[in-house]
């Protein structure tokens, strides 16, 4: 999808930028410093990239929208996409197919995934998940490596990009470099569910489903990208943060709780739970964590008081 010049110009006007067009560039007084009596700031109207030759400010049009509107970056991405109609991502160029981020060399097929069987009953019991939940999330088992296989899919088309293979000793991404940060594990299992429970590990999302709680999705790790948050915003009316109850997970929960205000956000309450993530909890303890969840603002206030 090409980014239209008119679309970017319309957004600049909406943001209050008083610009003049010179070829592919729109020049204006710099929005990042003042006074700028001799306009030193310009933005390319084809790729959305800007630079100020005076103060050095540079970025893309979503950074600009975030600065002017006082938005978190993922919120600015959503705004820009709604106005211009191209992908909310870090790849800002003239032509981009928002239906497929994976380079051609990354292509795998459903037939490649189907080589792996569904996990055996014994393996499922070890993780306290059911076969129905495993099938709903597309979880497979690599008998050669004795590892779980979690598919990585395009968030819009559900096309298979690859998978994450994981056991107690190691985890592998196949193909190497598969863009996990541009999707969420479990999006295809959401259906009409409007409450999303965000966890770190794919198996935790499946564990929630087996315990009777729909809406579990995984970021494939503790770091949650702005793009992944924008996917949550698109699909959900409510977000429950259930990242791991360790220093890294708590820190990332605090970051998201402080920045993400577009929808109702709450935090899973581990209380005195016997595990550090939902995958290690019993059904009753998961239920208690949901019942006693805290609003993001309340949780964040307590977090800051305890630091």
**Domain map (residue ranges) of the chain:** 5-84, 117-138+178-306
Four-way CATH pick for 5-84: 3.40.50.720, 3.90.580.10, 3.90.1150.10, 3.20.20.140? 3.90.580.10
Q: Give residue 198's pLDDT band: very low, low, confident or very high (50, 70, 90).
A: very high
What's the rounded mean pLDDT across residues 194-217? 97
CATH for the stretch 117-138+178-306: 3.40.1360.10
User: Is residue 190 over pLDDT 90?
Assistant: yes
Query: Among residues 258, 231, 199, 242, which one has the least CA distance to residue 74?
Result: 231
What per-residue confidence (pLDDT) applies to 56? 79
C-beta of residue 221 within 8 angstroms of C-beta of residue 200: yes
**Ranges 42-46, 75-79, 204-208, 230-234: which has the least confidence:** 75-79
The secondary structure element, H or E, covering residue 265 is: strand 264-267
**Ranges 2-16, 112-126, 288-302: which has the least confidence:** 2-16
Q: Cα 136 to chain center, whole Å?
A: 20
pLDDT-above-70 percentage for the chain = 91
What per-residue confidence (pLDDT) applies to 106? 55
- Dihedral pair phi/psi, residue 234, rounded to 5°: -65, -35
Q: What is the mean pLDDT of the chain?
A: 86
């Amino acid at each position: 999808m090409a980014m239209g010049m008119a679309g970017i110009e319309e957004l600049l006007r909406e943001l209050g930028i008083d610009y003049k067009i010179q070829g592919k560039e729109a020049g204006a007084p710099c929005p990042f410093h003042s006074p700028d009596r001799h306009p030193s700031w310009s933005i390319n109207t084809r790729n959305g990239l800007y630079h100020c030759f005076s103060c050095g400010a540079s970025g893309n049009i979503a950074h600009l929208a975030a600065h002017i509107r006082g938005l978190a970056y993922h919120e600015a991405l959503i705004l820009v996409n709604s106005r211009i109609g191209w992908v909310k991502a870090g790849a800002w160029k003239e032509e981009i197919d928002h239906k497929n981020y994976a380079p051609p060399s990354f292509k795998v097929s459903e037939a490649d995934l189907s080589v792996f069987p569904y996990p055996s009953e014994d393996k499922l019991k070890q993780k306290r998940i059911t076969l129905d939940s495993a099938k709903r999330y597309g979880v497979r088992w690599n008998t050669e490596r004795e590892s779980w296989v979690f598919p990585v899919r395009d968030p819009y088309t559900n096309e298979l990009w690859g998978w994450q293979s994981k056991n107690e000793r190691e985890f592998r991404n196949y193909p190497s470099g598969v863009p996990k940060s541009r999707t969420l594990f479990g999006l295809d299992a959401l259906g009409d569910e409007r409450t999303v429970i965000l966890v770190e590990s794919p198996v935790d999302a499946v564990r929630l489903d087996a315990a009777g709680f729909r809406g579990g999705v995984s970021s494939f790790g503790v770091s949650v990208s702005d793009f992944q948050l924008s996917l949550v915003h698109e699909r959900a009316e409510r977000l429950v943060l259930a990242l791991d109850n360790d220093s890294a997970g708590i820190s990332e929960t605090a970051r998201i709780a402080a920045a993400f205000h577009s929808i109702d956000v709450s935090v899973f309450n581990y209380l005195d739970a016997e595990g550090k993530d939902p995958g290690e909890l019993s059904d009753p303890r998961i239920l208690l964590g949901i019942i006693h969840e805290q609003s993001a603002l309340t949780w964040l206030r307590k977090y800051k008081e305890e630091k």
